[in-house]
Structure 1
Amino acid sequence: MTTHDHPGAPAGAAHGTPSELGFSMPAEFAPHDACWMLWPQRPDTWRYGAKPAQQAFIEVATAIAESETVFVGVNDDQYENARIQLPEQVRVVELSSNDAWMRDVGPTFLTHPDGRLAMVDWEFNAWGGLDGGLYFPWDKDRRIRTKIAEMLGVERFAVPVMLEGGAIHVDGEGTLITTEECLLNANRNPDLTRAQMEQVLRDTLGVEKVIWLPRGCHLDETDGHVDNLCCFVAPGEVALTWCDDPDDSQHAISREALAVLEAAVDARGRRLKVHKLPQPGPLHIAEDEASGIDRLRHSHPRRPGDRMAGSYVNFYIGNAVVVMPLLDPQRDGQAREILQALFPTRRVVGVAAREILLGGGNIHCITQQQPRCR
């Protein structure tokens, strides 16, 4: 394993930036070798010892494992429980974590035209550190990328910039979408300007064009991750969370994003085609769902009546399946039909995902694809 350290704007680093070395981040809809997940158990995030959440994670892992290897990282005290419950084809590995959001604490994988795999090791502060972060400490989460690099024996580019995987989406052809609310948040990288952050993304991920959406979904506790609002489904095509109710705060956010997307061109000069996915709900935490959670001083509170940032955009694109969250019986069917039309060569699998949403994210948030290499 080779490690490269890069400054905040990594141009001119001793070994060259990932982009200069020929690496880039593939799209999620490109072929995968594997998917990485973590096992939920944190009692201040997941109710009732995370037993309901574990069942949802099992369903997600099982669906993805139909067409690609799935690794589930588990703390030692839950290893035997996870190994017994997860299907045999899912690989369970001891990989200590503070919580189960592999999209954000796991590596951003890069590929090279010569067939090499590498990864980016961003900084991580639990979505804001002590200024709005969701829990403390995050020391185990911070080591996950290094451990996976060791396990796979691949190059690791250490980039001292605070960035979570859910904050970015790429089309694999030079275009990246993100939100200003997250990447320019003072609790992430207060010393980086928008232009400097764009340069970091170009140097690290091999992209040429960055499309900035103003905000993420309403009340998204990650400070507006793009993967809950908008994602690439093909080159030149995105799916966008949509709300038709003008009295709903999501209404203005979705229209604001649509205006930016319709005015944008991607790195290849194409206008974007926008597919609207209806917003589920609105969804709120029920009285019984707020019980059974440990109340800790440094943890994000989960109270009865709180609105959750539910979104059908938070799905995972596997090799042969698209695993989507089932969140609202009145809209699940419509969302599934839209996704099936967008991915005609893949089977759309719905997983009851409210238990994942109760923890603050969804299917895309708990997964991280490892792209296929030649």
Structure 2
Amino acid sequence: MTHPLETDNVATPNGAPTPAALGFAMPAEFAPHDACWMLWPQRPDTWRYGAKPAQQAFVAVASAIAESETVYVGVNDDQYENARHQLPPRVRVVELSSNDAWMRDVGPTFLTHPDGRLALVDWEFNAWGGLDGGLYFPWDKDRRIRTKIAEMLGIPRFAAPVVLEGGALHVDGEGTLITTAECLLNANRNPSLDRAEMETVLRDYLGVTNVIWLPRGCHLDETDGHVDNLCCFVAPGEVALTWCDDESDPQHAICREALAILEATTDAKGRRLRVHKLPQPGPLYIAEDEASGIDRLSHSHPRRPGDRMAGSYVNFYIGNSVVVMPLLDPAHDGAAREILQGLFPDKRVIGVPAREILLGGGNIHCITQQQPRP
């Protein structure tokens, strides 16, 4: 039986019903998935040495997640054969052109309905700031990815009237969303919207009722402070927060500022949040040889020797039976892994060497997007 709207593209800004009004909502990442979506890295001004080292890291991430659920990797046509050769047979490679490989941000935010339907939100995208601090130009291929995935899956696409990236939000699936003012209220995203207006959009498109605002994200995060690098839900009423004990590190104040807000707030169910601290790796910096292999283009974000990277163990992916975490610093990898295993005792925590992903500006959560099970 065909559901209403099953293959329609639904635009809502002009008075049509919003996703929430139709009964759709965004489930938590720790809810069951049908699949995970990724993109293939190849951009030479983001990834060093023609993205060959990054491709190995992406293969490791995709292989780990594929133990848990179906993985789709979207690939530009000129990299299709290379990607198909490198990725294991159980990973599905599809031609899906992109400007870069950050599926969390350029891909859809999926919604589910109590009657079993799946839909997606198509946010506006301007490459993390457009011509005012954006990371590259153009972003035309990225902008079409959500429409293409809606077509591939035959599901409704709700076109949202705001610029927003998936890494800028986390939900608990029970009505609570967490984000940062640094990103969502940034003048290079939606300069005409204030906090109350943005909250209305989040409620209308994601079905949430409570929005927790943290002031800022991780120190020097080039996404303008995505929350998925700082804090995430690991269960209803529980969050993981990156943590720094070095008082001389700018991240020290950011963590404590976030902790004070998290401990003073309640979620949509009236619960006080339990905060689990994940140690910060590093600090980590770009080495000379790591910067030398990157093409220097005037329209892309510079990556220079000595630049500090926004490394974080919070940037992990929660699969059906696995948690895939970045390995970034031998001094802290083990402790972070032990904490995550304690938070997810029924899942296998898989550590993947992820410095090559971090060199591009993000990590495992940034390159993945879960497709929930309706």
Same fold (TM over 0.5): yes
Question: Which of 12, 16, 21 is residue 6 of structure 1 equivalent to?
Answer: 12
Indicate whether 1:51 and 2:52 are aligned.
Answer: yes
CA distance in 1 between counterparts of 2:38 and 2:361 reads 16
CA distance in 2 between counterparts of 1:62 and 1:245 reads 35
Q: Which amino acid aligns with 2:83?
A: A
1:160 shift after superposition = 1.9
Scaled by the length of structure 2, what TM-score is found?
A: 0.98
CA distance in 1 between counterparts of 2:280 and 2:113 reads 37
Look up the match of 1:116.
117
1:3 shift after superposition = 1.5
Indicate whether 1:277 and 2:278 are aligned.
Answer: yes
Counterpart mapping for 1:283-322 below 5 A = 283-322=284-323
Look up the match of 1:33.
34
* Structure 1 unaligned regions, length at least 5: 8-12
Displaced runs of 4 or more, over 3 A? none
Counterpart mapping for 1:353-368 below 5 A = 353-368=354-369
CA distance in 1 between counterparts of 2:85 and 2:336 reads 33
Cα deviation digits, residues 48-69 of structure 1 (max 9, x gap): 0000000000000000000100
Look up the match of 2:131.
130
Cα deviation digits, residues 260-291 of structure 1 (max 9, x gap): 00001000000000000000000000011001
Cα deviation digits, residues 192-227 of structure 1 (max 9, x gap): 010000000000000000000000000000000000
SS at match of 1:288: helix
SS at match of 1:247: coil
Cα deviation digits, residues 80-135 of structure 1 (max 9, x gap): 00001100000000000000000000000000000000000000000000000000
1:14 shift after superposition = 3.7
Counterpart mapping for 1:189-208 below 5 A = 189-208=190-209
Counterpart mapping for 1:222-301 below 5 A = 222-301=223-302
CA distance in 1 between counterparts of 2:9 and 2:144 reads 14
CA distance in 2 between counterparts of 1:307 and 1:6 reads 41
CA distance in 2 between counterparts of 1:49 and 1:18 reads 40
Q: Which amino acid aligns with 1:305?
A: G
CA distance in 2 between counterparts of 1:146 and 1:121 reads 7
Number of positions where the alignment pairs a residue of Structure 1 with one of Structure 2: 368
Q: Which amino acid aligns with 2:101?
A: A
Q: Which amino acid aligns with 1:307?
A: R
Residue identity over aligned pairs, in percent, reads 85
Scaled by the length of structure 1, what TM-score is found?
A: 0.98
Look up the match of 2:344.
343
Look up the match of 2:4.
none
1:15 shift after superposition = 3.1
Look up the match of 1:76.
77
Indicate whether 1:146 and 2:147 are aligned.
Answer: yes
CA distance in 1 between counterparts of 2:12 and 2:212 reads 24
